[in-house]
Each structure stands twice: as structure tokens, then as C-alpha cells.
């Protein structure tokens, strides 16, 4: 991943994301110069050769995303659903890059981000392959679960580490887990465990479960069912909602009907999209609280968190992005920070050394949530406190006092070693 | 609790009085505690711990320090973008250094003429020449104070003021007498070497102690320490610089002669796990034999023997114990407990908490005028 900086290389490395995207294309050119335009490919080769002649070393981190990702459609981000992104998280990685200007100084490395926008999974994979051949080992991956799984499976056994920053699906940590796939974003099991711990302490022991039918919603629902069983919350009824106005389906699309004829303390809405969930509060038959995807939600980050230096990070992010920071932004930030931390601590740019340190118990990451964070060895999930937030406040940080674990209380959230089906 | 002021302070009196009416310091015996959320400094009687006065300041006062002659207290007000100046004799806010964005901790030169300030938002060390500032700043800024915010409210009036200030004054560089040195993000602890030639600055984000030449503003060294380094203590012989590291739960010891890390001390009070231990505050006894460290989230302070680097005692105090301060004869230690809104009073000889005194919301720093 070390590349030499030349007077020409800033043309390729710096500047707007769109320019970096252009670089992505040049990479493709290099991969198949005759197919896509030989001259540009040759120009690029020339730049690479000149580049190798000069002084300070760049440490390039790949940043992968899809050109079309429905999670970031303008309609979706405009709606500001409680648990959904407000925009692409690349700004988080940029903030981390600025924070890391001293981390590489001992080894003379300067961190750079290489943003790659893939047309589809195959295109992303091809570009990863190209960058990997150029010595890039670390990739921040902002993609839906299916893409993450495909990328991870295809890069297995290579000198690569992938940092999943936006796919919360449990399956990626269980059956589809990979030794080189690290998860910075919490999984659904961690989020629902956090929320359920809180329900338990509040003695809100009866939940009405409303769930969508999408595969993502099913994963979230299964997570909540698992947590409810674990912490003794009773699910009094499970009802499938439908986002429609069809009067023939009113028992599924009408919140009043969905929430009638049951005795419950809270309504848990499992809606990974958010559009249905936002309409549930104040529409239920009973005045009970809404939790899950609306009302009170478990999150990796919340702009209103005011301890552990969080306001300073939030300020830096908002300056960069012009909007509040959400989970995925935080995860993008922390993924880059993790790589910088590894370089600083191991005083090396050697991939094997960095990987070993990142995955070791000695690894300490500062997520601005007060606890030292590191990766669980059994499924590569980053253990971390979870915040329980409303639209404008953080009600609690989890795990709550009294939820104890034999080695690390953070492991009361999500898949502990004995719950893990992951086999590398 | 009255003790004689050392003689060396006397010559300084004549040159370090800068603002308002010169008032000769007297040992009031008062305890001053800043409150981040009530936007004031509580003044307590050291014997009865009764509140004598609450001095309103700009929003979010944090670090406090006396001028070398104890006639003034400087208070870094993070959200109010100001360093407020309190007259110790009058117990009043008498002046304000306005337009300093998010000051956190600072140190003062021995002659009282220069402030070294960590500018959290700018990722910079600010070096402020006070004579130049007061000579050139023009009008004295408005001394309006932030409301002692009732629960749930922030001090909007003061925030608005700060915003206005920003628009008028532009960036921090426009403040007369202020030079800045770029350091890692979120600078926090600042310590000026006794000869005034070197400033040590922690960067919480860069896990680094920056060593800055104060005359040239040049960075002489960047020392990688633990995770989230916070504050300093220097042994009287200047052979060991101790740095607390909040997230890795350790104190790193640096040799200032070589700028190399020589040792690290870990803490583990009974019944806690390593990840609960978050050292922040640190102070050293006058004789240089003992260091006291505030262990934050583990609600303990630690007494450490300087010669052996061994932890001698852990003492249970309030919640999130950060700032630790000794009185002049080192018989009493005060601990600011940020999450239980009180200070613990510790008898140093017996190493027992004798009292815990409710103060105000989120106490940050304790100062004793003795």
C-alpha cells in the first residue's frame, strides 16, 4: 500500500471525490488498457513510474461504495428516519484522515483515501483486485449486506482487510463471516440486546412486535425475538405490517388495527426502511411507547451524545459534511481511525504486523463512547457501547450497570463467543 | 489553612497586575470550583464548605488557574469562547479575553505574562501575550455572563454572543497577541517547563504529546504515548514527565531530556476491570515523592510512589473523578467529581475521604487560595 509521492501524484490522489472516481476509472484502464482506452492507461503507467521515484510514502486506504445504493437515495435521506443515514458516510472517513496526520509520522507514512464507486458488485470486485495489486490492503466497505458478503467471499485468503461500515445483518457475523471481514457497525443482535436490556430495567416486559416482510426486517425481527428470550421480555403478539393504503389490507396497513386487541407495554417496530415506522407513534390504539425503528432506537452514534469528547467529533463531522453524524458516518470514521491506530502502535506499514495488531487483545480504539473498543476474535465484530436515542436525545448508554459478563461487559451485547456460529 | 506565600512571588506582583484595579492578594482560604453546566465558579469557605459566592462566567467554565501572585483567576470558558478574569480579592468577574474558540486547559508563564492555551476546536496551541492583548484589543468586551442554566437549558444568550464575536473578529489569529501552533486534534493538557522554553501539549486524538519550542513555535518532538492522553505532572527535578491516558488506563512517563517514553503505570482498583479505569487528573506533591491520579470512571483516585512507580493506595471518591488538587502544605486533597456534582475532600496523611461537598453541576476544576 505504500506508494511514493511525486509532483504528479496529487493529481490522482487529491481533489474532489469525483476526481478520485476518475482515478478509479484509470485503475480499470490499467487492468484492461486495450479494452477501455490505451492512451490513458499508458499515461497512468507513466505517472506510476514517475511517482515511484520520489520521496514521502503514501499509505492508501481503499473506500468502496456502489454508485446506486438505495439506502442513500435522496428521498430516503431527506426523510431522516431515526435509524437511517442522512447521506453517504464518506465524510466520516475524511474527518478521520484529518485526525490522523500524526499517526503515520514515525514511519513516514501519509494516509490517503482512494474512493471507488462501483457500478455493481463485479465492478467493485475488479477495482479491489486492481488496487490490491498496487499494494492497497485496507478497504472501507460501504455496501449492502449482499455486496459485502460477495466481496468478502471473493477476496478470501488475500492480504486484504475489509471494514464493513454499514451492513448490520447478523448473517455477516454468523454463517457468512470471514476472517478478513471486520465489522465496525454494530449488528442487529447488539442493537436489539441493548434496547431489550433497557426494557428489562424499566420493567416494560410485554412487547407488541410489528414487523415488515423484507429479508432485512426478518433479520431485525429475529434479533429482537432472540433478545426478548434472552432478557425475559414477552412478545405478546407478532404482526406483519404492510406499507400500503389498500382498504382490503387494512388489518396490515392501519396502525390502529395493528395495535388493537393486545396487552403490551411497548410497541417494537422492526422496519429497516423506516417509512412505515415513522407513522406508528401517536397512531396506536393505546398510548404505549414505540421502540425499535422509531421512538426509542438503539444506535452506534447519536449527534446529541455529550460525553467522552463526542461533541468535538460531532462538530468536526458537521463542519465536513454539513449535517449531523449518523451510525454509518461514525463507522466510516472509526474504520479509518482503526487503520491509523494500528500503524501508530505497531510503528510499521507491514500488512501482517498491522493485521495482527488490529485483531489482537492489545488493540485499543477510541470510539468517543468512553470504553476502549476492539474486535471480537470469534466473529470480528467491534465490541462497543450502544446508545439508546430519540430524535434529539440520548436516553442511555448500554450495557447498563448490572448487566455483567465474565470478561468484558460489552459482550453482553450481541453474539458472545458461545453464541457464535462463525467458523473462519 | 493560611500559609505564608513564598518570597519569590513578591517581585512578580508589580509586573503581573494587568486588569482592573490592582488588588493585593491575600490568602482568603477560599476554594474555587468551576461548574461546566451552571456556568459559574462556586467560592467555598475552606473550613465550613459553605458557599460564599457564585461568580457567573461565560458559558462552560472549565480549567481555572491563579495568576502567579494569586490576585486573579483565569477561567477557560469553552462554550463562551472566552477566558474570564476573576479578581480574587473582590470575588468578581473583572475582565474577559474574548473570541478564543473553545479553550480547554492552559498554563501560565512564571512572569504571568503569557498564557498557553489548548484550542480544542482548532487543533492548536494558542500562545497569548497578555500585555499585547490588553494594549491592543480596543474596547473591553461586554462582561455579560451565561445564565446559571436551569436543568435542561443551555445558555443561549452567551452562545449567541460567542457567535457574534466570531463574525466580528474572524478567526482566532485576529486576536492581538495570539500566536497559534498547529498540533493534533483535540489538544487538552498543557504544561510549561519551569524555564518557560518548552510547552508540552497532549492531543487526545493523535495519542501524542507534542513538544513545542515556545520561542520559535516549532515542534521539537511528537511522542507517541497511550490512548487519549490528557494531563501532565512534572517531577520537581524535571527528570520525569507524567501523562495520564484516559482510554488505555495508564500513566506514561516521559524523560524530558530525550523525549522518550521510559515507563507506563497501569491502575486497577479492587472490583474494577481495566476498561473502567480512565485516568485524567494528575497532581504531584510539593516534595516530588507522591503523585495522585484521578481515575475517572472507576470513581477512585490512586496514590503513586514516584521513586518506585508503585501504586500505594486507591481511595474511593465520587463519580467520574477527574481533577485532583492539593492544598499548599499538601495535607488536604480535593477531587472534582464530574458526574456526582460534588467534590471529595481527602485527608492526605490517612488517605481517607473526610467529606464530600455538593457544589454545582459538572464540577471541573478546584483551586485553593491558601
SS3 per-residue string spanning B213-227: ECCCCCEEEEEECCC
| A369 in reach of chain B (CB within 8 A) | no
Q: What is the pLDDT of residue A40?
A: 52
- Is the peptide bond prior to B338 cis by the omega test (within 30 degrees of 0)? no
pLDDT tens across B14-49, in order?
444 444 444 444 678 899 999 999 999 999 998 999
Statement: residue A265 has pLDDT above 70:
yes
Q: Complex ipTM above 0.90?
A: no
- Range of A291's domain? 189-299
* pLDDT confidence tier of residue B172, bands split at 50, 70 and 90: very low
- % of chain A at pLDDT higher than 90: 84
**Taking CB atoms and an 8 Å limit, are B184 and A309 in contact across chains?**
no
Statement: residue B187 has pLDDT above 70:
yes
Q: What is the pLDDT of residue A349?
A: 95
> Based on the domain organization, do A92 and A156 belong to the same domain?
yes
> Based on the domain organization, do A105 and A218 belong to the same domain?
no
* pLDDT confidence tier of residue B203, bands split at 50, 70 and 90: very high
> Based on the domain organization, do A97 and A5 belong to the same domain?
yes
Q: How many CB atoms lie within 10 A of CB B222?
A: 18
B60 contact residues in A (CB cutoff 8 A): none
> Based on the domain organization, do A294 and A318 belong to the same domain?
no
| A105 in reach of chain B (CB within 8 A) | yes
| Among candidates A100, A312, A370 on the partner chain, residue whose Cβ is nearest the Cβ of B186 | A312
> Based on the domain organization, do A164 and A206 belong to the same domain?
no
In a domain, A403, yes or no: no
Number of Cβ pairs < 8 A linking chain A and chain B: 52
Statement: residue A332 has pLDDT above 70:
yes
Statement: residue A304 has pLDDT above 50:
yes
Distance from CA of A96 to the nearest CA of B (A): 10
In a domain, A398, yes or no: no
> Based on the domain organization, do A77 and A170 belong to the same domain?
yes
In a domain, A405, yes or no: no
- % of chain B at pLDDT higher than 70: 86
- % of chain B at pLDDT higher than 90: 77
* pLDDT confidence tier of residue A28, bands split at 50, 70 and 90: very low
| Among candidates B121, B184, B249 on the partner chain, residue whose Cβ is nearest the Cβ of A102 | B184
Statement: residue A317 has pLDDT above 70:
yes
pLDDT tens across B279-289, in order?
999 999 999 99
Statement: residue A276 has pLDDT above 50:
yes
**Taking CB atoms and an 8 Å limit, are B273 and A408 in contact across chains?**
yes
Statement: residue A44 has pLDDT above 70:
no
**Taking CB atoms and an 8 Å limit, are B248 and A105 in contact across chains?**
no
Alpha-carbon dihedral of residues B348, B352, B356, B362, nearest 10 degrees? 70
In a domain, A256, yes or no: yes
**What's the average model confidence in pLDDT over B147-170?**
44
Nearest residue in B to A406, CA atom: B273
> Based on the domain organization, do A236 and A348 belong to the same domain?
no
pLDDT tens across B93-134, in order?
999 999 998 898 999 999 999 999 999 888 999 999 999 999
In a domain, A410, yes or no: no
Domain boundary among A351, A367, A384: A384
Q: How far is CA B351 from the centre of its chain?
A: 23
**What pTM, to 2 d.p., does this model score?**
0.83
Distance from CA of A343 to the nearest CA of B (A): 12
Instruction: Indicate which CATH number applies to the domain containing A166.
Output: 3.40.50.2300
| Among candidates A101, A102, A372 on the partner chain, residue whose Cβ is nearest the Cβ of B227 | A372
> Based on the domain organization, do A45 and A132 belong to the same domain?
yes
Domain boundary among A274, A299, A324: A299
> Based on the domain organization, do A318 and A294 belong to the same domain?
no
pLDDT tens across A197-237, in order?
999 999 999 999 999 999 999 999 999 999 999 999 999 99
In a domain, A401, yes or no: no
* pLDDT confidence tier of residue B166, bands split at 50, 70 and 90: very low
Q: Which residue, A65, A73, A181, is CA-closest to A120?
A: A65
> Based on the domain organization, do A222 and A171 belong to the same domain?
no
Parallel/antiparallel/unpaired status of strands A161-164 and A138-142: parallel
Q: What is the pLDDT of residue A106?
A: 85
> Based on the domain organization, do A127 and A84 belong to the same domain?
yes
Domain count, chain A: 2
For residue B362, report the phi and psi dihedrals to the nearest 5 degrees: 50, 70
> Based on the domain organization, do A117 and A173 belong to the same domain?
yes
Q: What is the pLDDT of residue B26?
A: 61
**What's the average model confidence in pLDDT over A126-146?**
97
B189 contact residues in A (CB cutoff 8 A): none
Q: What is the pLDDT of residue A37?
A: 45
In a domain, A391, yes or no: no
B121 contact residues in A (CB cutoff 8 A): 312, 315
Parallel/antiparallel/unpaired status of strands B229-234 and B219-224: unpaired
In a domain, A397, yes or no: no
Is pLDDT larger for residue A34 or for residue B267?
A: B267
Q: What is the pLDDT of residue A24?
A: 35
Statement: residue A16 has pLDDT above 80:
no
Average pLDDT, chain B: 87
Q: Residue A358: which H helix or E strand, with range?
A: helix A351-358
Amino acid at each position: 500500500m505504500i506508494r511514493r509521492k511525486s509532483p504528479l501524484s496529487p493529481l490522482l490522489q487529491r481533489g474532489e471525490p469525483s476526481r478520485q472516481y476518475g482515478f478509479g476509472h484509470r485503475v480499470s484502464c490499467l487492468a484492461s488498457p486495450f479494452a477501455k482506452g490505451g492512451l490513458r492507461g499508458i499515461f497512468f503507467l507513466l505517472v506510476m513510474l514517475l511517482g515511484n521515484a520520489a520521496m514521502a510514502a503514501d499509505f492508501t486506504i481503499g473506500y468502496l461504495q456502489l454508485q446506486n445504493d438505495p439506502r442513500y437515495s435522496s428521498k430516503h435521506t431527506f426523510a431522516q428516519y431515526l435509524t437511517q443515514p442522512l447521506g453517504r458516510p464518506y465524510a466520516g472517513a475524511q474527518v478521520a484522515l484529518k485526525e490522523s496526520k500524526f499517526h503515520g509520522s514515525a514511519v513516514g507514512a501519509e494516509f490517503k483515501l482512494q474512493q471507488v464507486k462501483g457500478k455493481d458488485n463485479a465492478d467493485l470486485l475488479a477495482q479491489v483486485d486492481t488496487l490490491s495489486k498496487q499494494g492497497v490492503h485496507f478497504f472501507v466497505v460501504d455496501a449492502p449486506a449482499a455486496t459485502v458478503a460477495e466481496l468478502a467471499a471473493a477476496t478470501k485468503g488475500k492480504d486484504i482487510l475489509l471494514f464493513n461500515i454499514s451492513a448490520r445483518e447478523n448473517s455477516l457475523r454468523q454463517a457468512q463471516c470471514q476472517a478478513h471481514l471486520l465489522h465496525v457497525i454494530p449488528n442487529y443482535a447488539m442493537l436489539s440486546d441493548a434496547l431489550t436490556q433497557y426494557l428489562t430495567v424499566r420493567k416494560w416486559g410485554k412487547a407488541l412486535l410489528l414487523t415488515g416482510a423484507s429479508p432485512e426486517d426478518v433479520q431485525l425481527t429475529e434479533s429482537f425475538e432472540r433478545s426478548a428470550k434472552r432478557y425475559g421480555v414477552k412478545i405478546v403478539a407478532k404482526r406483519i405490517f404492510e406499507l400500503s393504503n389498500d382498504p382490503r389490507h387494512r388489518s396490515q396497513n392501519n396502525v390502529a388495527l395493528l395495535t388493537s386487541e393486545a396487552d403490551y407495554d411497548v410497541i417494537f417496530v422492526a422496519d429497516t426502511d423506516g417509512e412505515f415506522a415513522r407513522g406508528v407513534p401517536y397512531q396506536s390504539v393505546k398510548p404505549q411507547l414505540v421502540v425499535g425503528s422509531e421512538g426509542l432506537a438503539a444506535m452506534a452514534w447519536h449527534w446529541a451524545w455529550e460525553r467522552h469528547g463526542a461533541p468535538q467529533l460531532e462538530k468536526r463531522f458537521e463542519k465536513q459534511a454539513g449535517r449531523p453524524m449518523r451510525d454509518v458516518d461514525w463507522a466510516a470514521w472509526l474504520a479509518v481511525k482503526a487503520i491509523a491506530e494500528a500503524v501508530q502502535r505497531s510503528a510499521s506499514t507491514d500488512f501482517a504486523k498491522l493485521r495482527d495488531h488490529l485483531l489482537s487483545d492489545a488493540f485499543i480504539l477510541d470510539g468517543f463512547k468512553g470504553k476502549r473498543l476492539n474486535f471480537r476474535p470469534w466473529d470480528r465484530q467491534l465490541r462497543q457501547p450502544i446508545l439508546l436515542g430519540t430524535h434529539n436525545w440520548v436516553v442511555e448508554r448500554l450495557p447498563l450497570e448490572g448487566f455483567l459478563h465474565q470478561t468484558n461487559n460489552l459482550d453482553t451485547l450481541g453474539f458472545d463467543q458461545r453464541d457464535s456460529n462463525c467458523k473462519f | 489553612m493560611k500559609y505564608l506565600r513564598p518570597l519569590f512571588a513578591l517581585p512578580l506582583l508589580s509586573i503581573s497586575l494587568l486588569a482592573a484595579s490592582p488588588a493585593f492578594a491575600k490568602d482568603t482560604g477560599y476554594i474555587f470550583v468551576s461548574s461546566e453546566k451552571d456556568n459559574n465558579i462556586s467560592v467555598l469557605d475552606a473550613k465550613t464548605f459553605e458557599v460564599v459566592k457564585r461568580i457567573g462566567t461565560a458559558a462552560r467554565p472549565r480549567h481555572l488557574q491563579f495568576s502567579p501572585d494569586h490576585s486573579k483567576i483565569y477561567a477557560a470558558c469553552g462554550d463562551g469562547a472566552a477566558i474570564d478574569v476573576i479578581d480574587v480579592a473582590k470575588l468578581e468577574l473583572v475582565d474577559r479575553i474574548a473570541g478564543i474558540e473553545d479553550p480547554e486547559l492552559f498554563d501560565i508563564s512564571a512572569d504571568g505574562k503569557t498564557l498557553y492555551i489548548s484550542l480544542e476546536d482548532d487543533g492548536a496551541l494558542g500562545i497569548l501575550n497578555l500585555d499585547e492583548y490588553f494594549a491592543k484589543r480596543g474596547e473591553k468586551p461586554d462582561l455579560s455572563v451565561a445564565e446559571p442554566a436551569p436543568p435542561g437549558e443551555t445558555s443561549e444568550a452567551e452562545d449567541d454572543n460567542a457567535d457574534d464575536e466570531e463574525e466580528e473578529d474572524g478567526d482566532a489569529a485576529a486576536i492581538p497577541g495570539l500566536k497559534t501552533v498547529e498540533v493534533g486534534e483535540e489538544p487538552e493538557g498543557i504544561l510549561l517547563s519551569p524555564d518557560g522554553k518548552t510547552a508540552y501539549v497532549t492531543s487526545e486524538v493523535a495519542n501524542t504529546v507534542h513538544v513545542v519550542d515556545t520561542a520559535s513555535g516549532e515542534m521539537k518532538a511528537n511522542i507517541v504515548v497511550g490512548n487519549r492522553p490528557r494531563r501532565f505532572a512534572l517531577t520537581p527535578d524535571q527528570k520525569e514527565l507524567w501523562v495520564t491516558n484516559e482510554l488505555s488506563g495508564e500513566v506514561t512517563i516521559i524523560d524530558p531530556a530525550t523525549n522518550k517514553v521510559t515507563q507506563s503505570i497501569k491502575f486497577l482498583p479492587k472490583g474494577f476491570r481495566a476498561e473502567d479505569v480512565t485516568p485524567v487528573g494528575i497532581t504531584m506533591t510539593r516534595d516530588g515523592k507522591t503523585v495522585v491520579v484521578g481515575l475517572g470512571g472507576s470513581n477512585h483516585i490512586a496514590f503513586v510512589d514516584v521513586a518506585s512507580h508503585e501504586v500505594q493506595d486507591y481511595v474511593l471518591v465520587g463519580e467520574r473523578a477527574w481533577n485532583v488538587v492539593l492544598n499548599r502544605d499538601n495535607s488536604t486533597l480535593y477531587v472534582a467529581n464530574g458526574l456526582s456534582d460534588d467534590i471529595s475532600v481527602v485527608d492526605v496523611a490517612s488517605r481517607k475521604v473526610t467529606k464530600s461537598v455538593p457544589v454545582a453541576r459538572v464540577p471541573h476544576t478546584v483551586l485553593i487560595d491558601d
